[in-house]
Amino acid sequence: MSILSSPSMGTPLSPLSPQADATRTLILVTVALASVIGLLVTGLVGYAVIRYRDRGTGAEPLQTGGNRKVEISYTLIPLAIQFGLFILTVLAMRRAEPAVGGIAIRGRDS
């Protein structure tokens, strides 16, 4: 039996310690969030491709300036997502930190 398939080692989806469980939870939340964002972006790109495809008129579309509200939201939404993932990471790190209780370390002068 291989060490990689040993049931006593656990797997990423069935952790054996509280530290590994904290990491697993963070991974699952991150993957779920990335999947939702990926599906949303894929759907919006598909919609834009179908909705605004070339209709064969040969006319160039009217070029306009930027939309400040949209540009601000393009900046703030990713920042909010990153901040949320940062908070979740900090919480997972606190859960994963092993308890120190009862260990005394003493230095010795020579």
Give domain status of residue 79, yes or no.
yes
Q: Do the Cβ atoms of 27 and 12 come closer than 8 Å?
A: yes
Give domain status of residue 60, yes or no.
no
**Per-residue pLDDT tens digits for 11-49:** 667 777 778 888 888 999 999 999 999 999 999 999 999
Give domain status of residue 2, yes or no.
no
Domain carrying residue 30: 15-52+69-97
Give domain status of residue 82, yes or no.
yes
Give domain status of residue 62, yes or no.
no
Give domain status of residue 64, yes or no.
no
- SS3 of 59-110: the string is CCCCCCCCCHHHHHHHHHHHHHHHHHHHHHHHHHHHHHCCCCCCCCCCCCCC
- Count up the domains in the chain and report the number: 1
Give domain status of residue 4, yes or no.
no
Rounded CA gap, 68 and 102, in Å? 57
**Per-residue pLDDT tens digits for 54-64:** 878 778 878 88
Give domain status of residue 10, yes or no.
no
